[in-house]
Each structure stands twice: as structure tokens, then as C-alpha cells.
Amino acid sequence: MKHLFWPALLAALLAGCSGAPSKDALIEDRGVKAEPAKPQEAAKPADAAKAAEAKAAELKAADAKAAESKAAEARKAEAAKVQTQALTSAVTEVKPLQTGAATGAVQTHNAAASPLRDPNNPLSKRRLQYDYDSAAIKEEYGAILEAHAKYLKGNKAANVILQGHADERGSREYNLALGQRRSEGVSKALQLLGVPDAQVEAVSLGEEKPLAEGNEEAAWRQNRRVEILYQGE
Amino acid sequence: MAATLSRLAPMPRFLLSLLLLLLASAAQAAMTIEIIGGAARKIPVAVLPFSMAQPGWLNPADVVTSDLSRSGYFRLLDTRDAGPLDDPRNVPLPAWKGKGADAVVLGQVLPAANGKVEVRFWLLDAVRQTSLLAMAYTTTPAGLRIAAHRVADAVHEKLLGEPGPYSGRIAYILKRGGRYELQVADADSQNAVTVVSSPEPIISPAWSPDGARLAYVSFEDRKPVVYVQSLADGTRKAVARFRGSNSAPAWSPDGKRLAVALSKDETSQIYLIDLASGVAARFTRGGALDTEPVFSPDGQWLYFTSDRGGSPQIYRAALAGGEIKRVTFEGDYNVSPDLSPDGKTLAFVHRRDGRFLVATKDLASGQTQVLTDTTHDESPSFAANGRMILYATLVGGRGVLATVSVDGRVKQRLTQSGDLREPAWGR
């Protein structure tokens, strides 16, 4: 049964992913127009009638703008408050996040005790990598997912968080959504292997936590991934 | 602290800034602004030094000159030898016309009641020899910089017929020293203040319509969570911390709702969160990725990115419900929508030949225009005046912020030590 299961699962997941063919854009670069506005023209409809001498009168007229000035004043006071507050107390310090990339540094003294950290156990394999614009799980990860599914079914208290990642190209928020699709693909695979939904949370870190820095495919390939983290790690 | 000090004592703001700069480490270096291109015909303007009742105060003329010069629409004449004048009748307009000036700005700063100051200024037409504008603002000595930005806004509007962008504020993320800082600064990148500092990524800052709060996405809790933070006191609240990912906040024009992307029920769908009750109502359905929502300024429509058609494109849906319509068609990657304040123009990121470029679409005519010639543009955000777009891009592998005018002619770049990204222009 198992031999049939994986190709079927992969086919199902692949079917859900559409590769987008690259096409050239049809956008027109418009020519730029001459700048129309000049002070002379601006003067015409405005207040050509007003004489330059009317200093006091005009300032009174400008006082009709008093309401605006008051509003401006309120905004200024508010802006000043923001700066003051922010400079003194508004900095919100937050605690560090442990990511999959950091698991190697976590509690190494337990390495012998837990199968999750035994390098000879497939459970220690926590990373799945992906092709460009794809959330399809590669066949090579089948054994790893089966090992995690078996462990989770046998350890009902264990929970995993699946962190999806994307490479850096394009919109950060769209990449967050792409990473989510990847982590949910792994979540669905685990559920199909019998893991209860409650033990798995699929999330995405988008392009924000790359494994490799660099603006080329070698780095991007490493960064398109899902990391499996057990609770407490 | 700086603001407090300069408010208590009429201390020169620029001196204080200078002092802070000297005290600060290299990592504190202020942003620098580089102008790339400009309008074909720049309006020549002479900004005379303002007459100052107290010599220590910031002279607004310096800020006005810097603002107008940076915009790319004005050519500032040398006024170093011109003495301050506080009476428009005494301005030798023919002489300024002879030096090539189309317009002259003069002004004065006077003490007002309760320790405040009054900034008066006049804008004169040197060609017709008439007055175009006379206005007064009351502020505190510490508020002189902000008042000066408003003078620049008024001059810009009078001469170009559209509101100036100088008194707005921007928010962005600065990554430096392994930390992520959400900063708020004046539109000229001065007065930058860190409002959140975290060892983990922060993305997608969004200004509330009244400018008093910022929504953003923080990764401090092993996954993306949406927060709303008050700028006045720095307090914040997690408004979307559902199972799965929570991201892409956008404010409704009335400031009462946030549109967000949540994965609590299905891969990245759009929800509307009522901020008073905290209830999240699902807005989009179907297995596609839906994200990056943004409200139209009239509150009638929601624009968002979706791959429901096979590639990421921008769609529009009526908030009242109804048919969802595709808006972008050119190419196979159009994302990150933002709407101009008049709701007539869509800005977005368009991929062409592997490059990510800022483009606009006139929603009435459907006409699309690519505005930039860089390669990794992200997060376009309209200025409140609707004439400039702020975005993030990469230069030499480093994140910088840049602005481009909606006609594509005037470009500026804001750089700082460290990576800048995810800019948002306050409304």
C-alpha cells in the first residue's frame, strides 16, 4: 500500500500547483509631457488682484486660516508627543525567535536521549526544499515525512510547527503566502498519513529568514524550504 | 529626549540635531538623499533667509530651500548675500527677476503668546511683481521644522497647483546590527524615531488614516502576527494572532477595520477585522492565495493580490459583496497594490524580464506605465499629495528607499547605513 501511496499523494499535490509560464509584458512606457505649471499661470486664477503692499491686511486674511493653523498646531503637538514618547519609552523590546535554522544549537545535551535529534534517525531531518514557484513535495522526502507522522501518532503530546519559506524575489507578502502554501502542503501530507490536525500548525516566514544570503539561484534554492520544528525547540 | 529638551528651552533644533549626530555612533548616521533626474523645466525660486526675532531658532528658509530643491521641480537661487526681509514691499523684485527668479519667498519668525512663535511668510511673483500668498502658522520653537515643511507645502501648491508632499511622515523598516527597527521619520527622512526594535523580522507597516497608529507584522513569536501600535504612548495589541499566518494589514478609510491575510481556515485568505470587537470576518474564498489587501479611499472597494488565475495578479472586489474582477493583465506577475488618494490610480510591482518594477495603472483608461528602471522594487506607497510614490529597492545589494513622481521624471533615493525596506507614506 505504501508504495502506491506516495506517488498518489505527490500527484495530488502537484495537481494543485500551477506553474506560471513567463511571458513578456505588454506595458507601454509613455512619453513624458512638458511641465505645465509656472508661477505666472498660477498667479492668474489665484489672487492677481491682491497687491503686494497689503501686508497687514493679508495677514489678517491669513488669520482666516486660523482654524487651519490651530489644526496644524494640534498636529504639531501630537507629532512632538510621538517623538518624545517614542524616544523615551515607545521602543518595544521583544524576545528572540527560534527558527529551524537554529535547532542545531538547541539543548545538545539531549541529543542522545531523543530520537528527534539522533543524526541516524530520519526524525532529525527537518528540512524540505522546493523548486521555483512550486509547493510540490519532492519524492525524496517521503521517508522523512512518514517517520515524523509515525512519531507524532505515537506521541500525542508532541506538536510541530511547519515554517514555510520562499526565496527573496518579489513581494514580501506574496512570498509569505507562497511559504504558507508550502507548509500547508506538508501539513496535508502529515494528515493524510494519519496525524491529527491539532498536532500540526502550518505557518510561513516568507522570505524573511533565508538560510543563504545571495542574489542567485544557488542561494534561492536553499531558501525555498519548509522547516519542521517540534514544540519546545 | 531631544524633543523634550528643545521644547522646554528655545534651543536651536538644528544645533541639537548636530549634537546628537556627533554623539551617535556610525550606525546612527542620518539618511542621505540623492536626487536622480528632475523636471525638464524647473521653476526658479529665491528663498530669502527669514527674519528671526531670536537668533538661536531654526531658520525655516533652510528647510524650505532643502524641501523645494529636493523635489526636482524647483531650482533654488543663491540667496546667501540677501539679507532677511520682513516686508514684501521692500523686496527688490526687478533685481530678483534679473537674476532669473520666477518667485521669491520671504518670511519672519516672531515670538507669540505662551512661549510660542509665529511663522509668517509671503510668496511673491517676481515676473508680474505681485503677491501670490501670505500666511502665518503658530507653533513652538521645536515645531519650526514642521512649520517650515508646511511653508514648503504651501509654496509648492501655489506654484504647481497640487499639494506639496513635504510635511508628511514615513514609516519603514531598518535592518542593522542584526536587529529590525520600525522607524517613523519626516518625509525628508529627518527626525527618525525607532518605535519598535526586534531581533526578528518586521514587515508591512501601515498607517492608520489619522496617523496616530501603525499596524505591522512581527515574527517575534515563531510566526507572523499582526499588531496595532499607538504612536502616542508606544502601547500595542496583537489584533490577529490566529492559528497559522497573520499578515498584510490595511486600514479602512474610517480607521475602524483592518483587512488582513489569514491562513486560519485555508491558505492565505482575506479577512476583515473589526478593531472594536476583534472579530475577523472572512472576505475571500477558494483555494487560491489571496493577500496584500488595500481599501479604495472611498471605502467601497478592496484591491488585493491573488493567484486565482494561475499567476499573481491584482483583483478588485466590492466590500458590499459581488463579483471579483481582475484589474491587471500585463505579464505574469503584478503584486503589492496601493491606491492614489483620489482612488484613480493604482500603483503596483510589475515583473518584466525578471526585473521587479514600480508601475501605475490609470483605472479609468486602463493605461499602464512603468516608472522605474531598477530591478528589485517592492512596496510602492503613494504620498498624501498623490504625486509621488515611495518604494523600496536594492542598490549594490543593499536596501534603499526611493521616490518617483507619478510621471516618472523625478527620482530620489534615501540611503542609510543598514538595510531600508517596507516603506509606507503616512496619509
Rounded Cα–Cα distance for residues B344 and B251 (Å):
18
Q: Are residues B141 and B250 both part of a single domain?
A: no
A67 — pLDDT class (breaks 50, 70, 90): low
| Residue B327 identity (one-letter amino acid) | V
- Helices B144-160, B60-71: axis angle to 10 degrees equals 40
User: For the ranges A112-116, B267-271, B311-315, B379-383, which has the lowest average pLDDT?
Assistant: A112-116
Q: Are residues B202 and B117 in the same domain?
A: no
Any chain A CB within 8 A of the CB of B375?
no
Q: Which residue of chain A comes nearest to B361, CA vs CA?
A: A27
**Pick from B103, B127, B160: which residue ends a domain?**
B160
Q: In chain B, pLDDT over 70 holds for what percent of residues?
A: 91
Considering CB atoms only, which of B218, B292, B310 is closest to A174? Answer: B292
Q: Let me know whether B103 and B249 are in one domain.
A: no
d(CA B303, CA B319): 10
Do B79 and B192 fall within a single domain? no
Amino acid at B364: A
Lowest mean pLDDT segment, chosen from A98-112, A128-142, B209-223, B251-265: A98-112
Query: What's the CA gap between B213 and B216, in Å, rounded?
Result: 10
Tell me which residue range forms the domain holding B107.
42-160
Cβ distance of A170 and B89 shorter than 8 Å: no
Q: Are residues B385 and B298 in the same domain?
A: yes
Residue B404 confidence class, pLDDT cut points 50, 70, 90: very high
pLDDT of res. B4: 32
Look at residue B72 in the predicted model and tell me its pLDDT: 84
Tell me: do B151 and B210 sit in the same domain: no
Do B209 and B69 fall into the same domain?
Answer: no
Give the pLDDT confidence of A30-41 residue by residue, as tens digits: 333 333 333 333
- Percent of chain B at pLDDT > 90 equals 76
C-alpha cell read off for B77: 537661487
Question: What is the complex's ipTM, to 2 decimals?
Answer: 0.87
Beta strands in B313-354 (DSSP E): 313-318, 324-326, 334-339, 345-352
B67 occurs within a structural domain: yes
Q: DSSP assignment of B117-141, as one string?
A: EEEEEEEEETTTTEEEEEEEEEE-G
How is A112-175 classified by DSSP, letter by letter? TT-GGG-TTSGGG--EEE--TT--PPPGGGHHHHHHHHHHHHH-TT--EEEEEE--SSS-HHHH
> To the nearest whole percent, how much of chain A has pLDDT over 70?
52
Residue of A100, A192, A183, A226 whose CA lies nearest to B289: A183
Are A176 and B248 within 8 A, CB to CB? yes
From A40, A50, A87, residue closest to B1, measured CB to CB: A87
Gap between the Cα atoms of A133 and A185, Å rounded: 13
Cα of A147 to nearest chain B Cα, Å? 23
Statement: A126-233 belongs to CATH 3.40.50.10860: no
Q: Would you say the C-alpha torsion B220, A88, B31, B28 has a positive or negative sign?
A: negative
Total domains in chain B come to: 2
The answer to the question of residue B15 being in a domain is no
What is the mean predicted confidence (pLDDT) over A29-56?
A: 38
Residues B84 and B202 in one domain: no
Query: Rounded to 5, what percent of chain A is helix, strand, coil?
Result: 50, 10, 40
Contacts of A188 in chain B (CB under 8 A): none
Residues B238 and B379 in one domain: yes
Mean pLDDT of chain B: 89
Q: Choose from B333, B355, B367, B421 for mutation: most chain A CBs within 10 A.
A: B333
Residue of A nearest to B222 (CA): A97
Cβ–Cβ under 8 Å, residues B230 and B215: no
Q: How far is CA A95 from CA A98, B246, B421, in A?
A: 10, 19, 22
B373 touches chain A (CB under 8 A): no
Residues whose CB falls within 8 Å of the CB of residue B335, separated by 6 or more in sequence, listed in order: A170, A171, A173, A174, B292, B305, B312, B314, B348, B349
| Cell representation of residue A36 | 505645465
Place of cell 525547540: A233
Residues of A within 8 A of B197 (CB-CB) are 91-93
Q: Supply the pLDDT for residue B55.
A: 86
Whole-number Å distance between alpha carbons of B326 and B334: 11
Of residues A100 and B371, which shows the higher confidence score?
B371
Q: Is B124 an interface residue toward A (CB < 8 Å)?
A: yes
What pLDDT digit, counting tens, does each position of B65-106 carry?
Answer: 999 988 888 999 999 888 888 899 999 999 999 999 999 999
What pLDDT shows up at residue A159?
Answer: 96
Say if A56 is an interface residue toward chain B (CB within 8 Å). no
- Look at residues B106, B133, B160 and tell me which one is the last residue of a structural domain: B160
Write the CATH number for B325: 2.120.10.30
Amino acid at residue number A153? K
For residues B8 and B224, the model is more confident at: B224
Q: Is residue B29 part of a domain?
A: no
Q: CATH number for the domain including B90?
A: 3.40.50.10070
CB A179 within 8 A of CB A204: yes
d(C-alpha A49, C-alpha A54), whole Å: 11
**Residues within 8 A of A (CB atoms), B 78-97 only:** 87-89
pLDDT band at B190 (very low <50, low <70, confident <90, very high): confident
pLDDT at B23 over 80: no
| B233/A173 CB distance under 8 A | no
The more confident residue out of B137 and B11 is B137
Same domain, B401 and B348: yes
Whole-number average pLDDT of chain A? 69
- The last residue of one of the domains, among B160, B177, B193, is B160
Residue B23 lies in a domain: no
Residue in B128, B199, B353 closest to A96 by CB: B199
Q: Is residue B1 part of a domain?
A: no
* B121 in the same domain as B213: no
Verify that B238 and B153 share a domain, yes or no: no
Q: Which residues make Cβ contacts (< 8 Å) with residue B151, sequence separation at least 6?
A: B60, B63, B64, B105, B107, B119, B121, B135, B137
Q: Do A62 and B135 touch (CB under 8 A)?
A: yes
Note whether residue B4 is domain-resident: no
Chain B interface disruption, residue of A38, A76, A187, most B CBs within 10 A: A76
The pLDDT value recorded for residue B183 is 95
Per-residue model confidence as pLDDT tens digits over A69-120: 666 665 555 443 322 234 233 333 443 333 333 333 333 344 446 888 888 8
Q: What is the pLDDT of residue A51?
A: 43
What's the pLDDT band for B199 if we cut at 50, 70, 90? very high
The DSSP string of B272-292 is EEETTT--EEE---SSS-EEE
Distance from CA of B299 to the nearest CA of A (A): 22
The pLDDT of residue A62 is 52
